Amino acid sequence: MAAAAPTVVPSSSTSSSTIQWDVFLSFRGEDTRDNFTSHLYGALVSKGIKTFKDDEGLKKGELISEALEKTIKKSRISIIIFSRNYANSRWCLEELALIMERWKKNGQKVIPIFLKGIDQLDVKHQKESFGEPFGEHEKNFDRKMVERWRSALRAAAQLPGWSFIDFR
């Protein structure tokens, strides 16, 4: 699936005092930190787009969940990078749920990216690598929390985004 390239305004043009970041990147570090995400981050930053990547923007000692929630709320756009192990991570799913709540309540722009081997329908219907982890999640976490994650996956997978077959 393809969508027109989003218009991202560099933060120097941002008029709202509540917006601190132009883009928030949600990704599974072990899958994409040193390849796709680092390249995307570098490209955005080189264009003057103030971009939050967890290893760049968190201050030592901050509680991760609180810091990420504040950062998501202060971001104009969230880009969700769906990779093979994204749904294995409780943190990724919690970020996703916060992003989708912000999208629903405040109209924050959300752009999903489906990397090689990730089918948008697998994300939507939680199949393959997006379904397998939920057996463990259902054992380890509250039922309401798991349903919140499932709902966020369904909603995000229905948004216009990009599929990348190959990246280096």
Q: What is the pLDDT of residue 17?
A: 54
95 given a catalytic annotation: yes
Of 56, 95, 128, 136, catalytic: 95
Res 5 pLDDT > 70:
no
- CA distances to 53, 99, 101, 129, 143 from 135, rounded to whole Å, are 29, 23, 24, 12, 11
The pLDDT confidence band at residue 33, using thresholds 50, 70 and 90, is: confident
pLDDT per residue over 43-98, tens digit each? 999 999 999 997 654 444 444 577 788 999 999 999 999 999 999 999 899 999 99
Q: In what side-by-side order are the strands of the sheet with 21-26? A: 51-52, 21-26, 75-82, 109-114, 162-163
Res 158 pLDDT > 50:
yes
pLDDT per residue over 100-122, tens digit each? 999 999 999 999 999 988 999 99
pLDDT per residue over 10-25, tens digit each? 444 334 458 999 999 9
Take residue 67 and report the two structure tokens written for it. Answer: 């810091």
Q: What is the pTM of this model?
A: 0.83
Q: Which domains does the chain have, with CATH numbers?
A: 19-163 (3.40.50.10140)
